[in-house]
A and B are shown apart, each in its own frame.
Chain A
Amino acid sequence: MTGIVFAGGEIGAFVPADSDCVESVTSGRFDSARSRCAIRVYNISSYAESRAFASNLTTMFFHADWGIENADASEQTSVAFYDSGGTEVFRINRSGGTPATIKPYYWNGSSWVATGSTFTVSAPQLMTIDLKVVPASGWELYINGTLRDSASVVMSAFSNLSKVRLKGTYIGYNFWSQVIVSGTSTVGLRLVTDAISGAGNSNNWTSGTYADVDEQAYNDTDGLASATNNQVFLCAGSSPSLDGFTVRGVIVTARVRQGTLLNYQHAVRSNGANYFTASQAVSAGYGAFVGIWETDPDTTATWTGAAALAAQFGGKSIT
């Protein structure tokens, strides 16, 4: 069964479409105990686009914290999902006014179809949503852990989901954080940001330090640069509180651009050994890259909280 295929809550897991998509620290619009910011999207033409999921999902669970700033002027799409062919096939719309109506739609090959019984949410507010989509049988939408809407319907125009876009609004903002996508249930999961707090065990990249890649609001004016194959950098984390909950995975995201070297691997260091993901091809412009370890590579068993917190993280340049 497919597990976690994507996670992140900042640029690095997502690529911003334009300057209307930024990282924001507006209070009350993200879970500040577990995140350091939200991705704020303004303007219906703007969006944050995820890295393609690690595998295409025939059963998709999407989890996120969704902060709503204002009543909107009219109905607009707040989050959109794409299949492996690049077609938008499922979306959640929010109507104008407050309370607003939340309406999921699916693509039937020629038009958008609304199903389910709509429900309302007021603004402003912060809510946790979990969306289950199974093209072969229907969908379920959970708000703050409770099933609020669903439909049994065969969505034959698509067979999988492979990417998500977090979208903006006419008025005010949508704030998105703590995004997790999995083939198994995400209800009850949370994404805890373990931001860089210092240097890790090593850094032999050509130039740059951990301080060049640790920012909350992304900027490309500084960074780590590699001119030689197989250079590794590692960073230490900030050891946030996990509140004793079970760890379901460690995720590393990076905003990377190619040079003479064309590939990148994420790294974690557990119990004194370095582990790397498979190489991911890097493009000429900055892109989003996500590495996922659902189990501790040192033990191949479920992460303990102590091991997850102690794991240093970084990346390796590849020819």
Chain B
Amino acid sequence: MTDLTVTKVVAYIAEGPAPSDLAVTKVVKYIVIDTGSIGDPGSVPPARRRVRVTARAAYVPT
């Protein structure tokens, strides 16, 4: 047991994209649309107004 002994040797290679470049791997565009104010707490739809229509007819002698 006087000799230096090596029982296992492994080589590894680290890999990956070049670290020197700023990289973008996914891009998405979205559009926000407003389908209306259904249930919108800040925009209560106008209440239906009950409109009373009255008419007065008058007899106008001819």
Contacts and interface: CB of A to CB of B under 8 A. Distances in A.
10 contacts: A7-B32, A193-B28, A193-B29, A195-B29, A213-B27, A222-B25, A225-B21, A250-B30, A261-B21, A311-B29
Interface string A237-259: 10010110111111111111111
A301 to B, nearest CB: 15
A187 B27 contact: no
Given A213-B27, A252-B29, A245 B35 contact: yes
B27 A235 contact: yes
Contact of A255 (B26, B37, B40): B26
Contact of B41 (A8, A13, A187, A250): A187
A227 interface: yes
A190 B23 contact: no
A207 B24 CA distance: 11
A65 B23 CA distance: 30
A145 interface: yes
Interface of A: 4, 7-13, 130, 132, 140, 142, 145-147, 180, 184-185, 187-196, 206-208, 212-215, 218-220, 222-227, 233, 235, 237, 240, 242-243, 245-262, 264, 282, 286, 303, 308-309, 311, 313-315, 317
B23 to A, nearest CB: 5
B27 A254 contact: yes
B39 A195 contact: no
B32 A252 contact: no
B27 A185 contact: no
B23 A259 contact: yes
Contact of A140 (B21, B27, B41): B41
A282 B37 CA distance: 38
A71 to B, nearest CB: 27
A31 B14 CA distance: 42
Contacts of B29: 193-196, 235, 237, 250-253, 311, 313
